[in-house]
Amino acid sequence: MMAFLITSCSDTPVADTTASQPVAATTVYKVMTEPTYPPFVFRDQQDRPSGFDVDILNAIAQQQGFSLTYTSHPWQSIFNTLDQGQADIVSAGITITEARKERMDFSAPYFESRQMALLGAGAANSQSFADLKPMRLALKPGTTSDDMAKQQGLTEKATYENTTFLTIRKVMSGEADATIGDSGVMLYYQQAYPDAKLKTLTDNNLPPEEYGFVVRKGNTELQNKLNQGLQAIKSNGTYDRIYRQYFAKS
């Protein structure tokens, strides 16, 4: 389990000095992240952007011969940074959806996830997401988990927080009975806080989801570079090595 540092996010992007190699590349792309989404994106103990997404992107950049700079931004308006020219790539464990594809373009999928509930130690045992209906849920707005909860009629007693960590903190404090999020993140927090005795629940009636790196609509040049680099690091074993580093114990 990798250590991480949760930092607060304002509405103002925070520039990070970390850049991928090679430093002498002629092209530099700006990556916008939400650094409160471990193990995909977080800040390490030196306050540098880290995580599975960062390592995969850096490997792609090295393979394709370009450089990356990283900037932090709150989730609620992160996609606007593409249209405003503040970012070339957005990366924060972002699920590919048809609705999002109307506004932005995605790379090929680089990770498969499922919706997962994280329940407090005192919550009733549940067999499916339908059992969550009477519970107090803590949710993060604008996510596929929030969309699913609304579609399933689970939000009657829901409250909302700006980061996944804050939703989980409400569960651990007893202010909420459960939260719903992507499986990789829920498992990470369950392992990070063993004393909380958090319980997980998946619903096999729901389909898996896929993550993609986001680029501005119509930016096929960058989209192709990401796809070619992703395919290359999958073929040469780099992807598997990075995956095992973060998810071997999940």
The answer to whether residues 74 and 134 belong to one domain is no
Domain extent at residue 184: 115-202
Position 7 in a domain = no
Cβ–Cβ < 8 Å for 113, 95: yes
Q: Would the pLDDT of 13 be above 90? A: no
Q: What is the distance, to the nearest Å, from the Cα of residue 211 to the centroid of all Cα atoms in its chain?
A: 8
Q: Would the pLDDT of 183 be above 60? A: yes
Cβ–Cβ < 8 Å for 72, 59: no
At 167, the pLDDT band (50, 70, 90 cuts) reads: very high
Nearest to 233 by CA among 219, 225, 89, 43: 225
Confidence (pLDDT) at 14 = 47
Confidence (pLDDT) at 160 = 98
- Tokens encoding 248: 């071997």
Total number of domains constituting the chain:
2
Position 74 in a domain = yes
The answer to whether residues 97 and 214 belong to one domain is yes
Give the DSSP H/E element, type plus range, for residue 191: helix 183-192
The answer to whether residues 187 and 72 belong to one domain is no
The answer to whether residues 214 and 107 belong to one domain is yes
Q: Would the pLDDT of 1 be above 70? A: no
Q: Looking at residues 186-191, what average pLDDT do you find? A: 96
Q: Looking at residues 73-89, what average pLDDT do you find? A: 95
DSSP 3-state helix, strand, coil percentages of the chain (rounded to 5)?
35, 25, 40
Cβ–Cβ < 8 Å for 132, 117: yes
Q: Would the pLDDT of 137 be above 70? A: yes
Q: Would the pLDDT of 87 be above 50? A: yes
Position 3 in a domain = no
Position 230 in a domain = yes
Give the DSSP H/E element, type plus range, for residue 187: helix 183-192
Q: Looking at residues 106-116, what average pLDDT do you find? A: 98
Confidence (pLDDT) at 185 = 96
Q: Looking at residues 204-224, what average pLDDT do you find? A: 97
Task: Say if pTM beats, i.e. exceeds, 0.95.
Answer: no
Q: Would the pLDDT of 193 be above 70? A: yes
**Exposure letters 140-151 (e unless 16+ CB within 10 A, then b):** beebbbbbbbee
CATH number of the domain within which 133 lies: 3.40.190.10
Q: Higher model confidence: residue 143 or residue 19?
A: 143
Confidence (pLDDT) at 26 = 76
- 178-182/115-119 β-pairing: antiparallel
How many Cβ atoms sit within 10 Å of the Cβ of residue 173?
11
Please give, one letter per residue, the 3-state secondary structure of 101-133.
HCCEEECCCCEEECEEEEECCCCCCCCCHHHHC
